[in-house]
Chain A
Amino acid sequence: ETGVTQSPTHLIKTRGQQVTLRCSSQSGHNTVSWYQQALGQGPQFIFQYYREEENGRGNFPPRFSGLQFPNYSSELNVNALELDDSALYLCASSSGRLMNTEAFFGQGTRLTVV
């Protein structure tokens, strides 16, 4: 067990709705990264937060946004959901800005958009 927990584990939303996914980081970790894993693909980097500020972003539109809180837990928000947003969303926590061997992934949130 990694100590990184995500909620909810499964979620079904309707196209056009908004969704908030949550991640509780491993104790002592101040960096969180979010990834989207579509079926049959590897995880794709969405963005990273370091000490409550966005610290890099992948090729995702602005309707994907995030927050990191003082206790280093994090949220991923997606507005105006599209069918293609259906995927497994993973968060990974680490200490410091470098994604190295000490990055731990949560079990993921399975989002289905209908």
Chain B
Amino acid sequence: DQQVKQNSPSLSVQEGRISILNCDYTNSMFDYFLWYKKYPAEGPTFLISISSIKDKNEDGRFTVFLNKSAKHLSLHIVPSQPGDSAVYFCAARGGVQGAQKLVFGQGTRLTINP
């Protein structure tokens, strides 16, 4: 039962262009969505988040869009830089017996080509 899905295992983008990473979810009770970035041999690093009551949040080159009716969110990176090459995880916050666990997607490997 995959409640959070990232259907693209990989994405390749040219440096300077826009990267768009997508994520779909099924549980309407999720109240917070987050994007994490992961380099090899490191733990996930928080990138940007959005509350379920908003539809857009922007932080520098990173913007997250939330479409609640479609249960879809996306991360836009503009302009893309070589250092953005990493695995990106979408995560949703949901309660489990009082604990606010994070439910992660499978990840999308983003490669930025010079």
Q: Interface on A for B, CB 8 Å cutoff?
A: 2, 4, 33, 35, 40-45, 47-48, 50, 55-58, 90, 92, 97-101, 103-108
Instruction: Verify if B106 is at the interface (C-beta below 8 Å from A).
Output: yes
The docked-state distance in angstroms from the alpha carbon of A33 to that of B44 is 13
Bound-state CA distance A44–B46 (Å) is: 16
A-B contact number at CB 8 A: 83
User: Which of A58, A98, A103 sits near B96, CB closer than 8 Å?
Assistant: A58
Chain B residues with a Cβ under 8 A of chain A: 4, 6, 9, 32, 34, 36, 41-46, 49, 89, 91, 93, 95-107
B96 contacts A100, C-beta separation under 8 Å: no
Q: Closest residue of chain B to A99, judged by CB?
A: B100
Decide if B44 touches A101 in the complex (CB within 8 Å): no
Q: Is the CB of A99 within 8 A of B44?
A: no
Whole-angstrom distance between the alpha carbons of A57 and B98 in the complex? 10
User: In the complex, which residues of chain A have a beta carbon less than 8 angstroms from the beta carbon of B42?
Assistant: 107-108
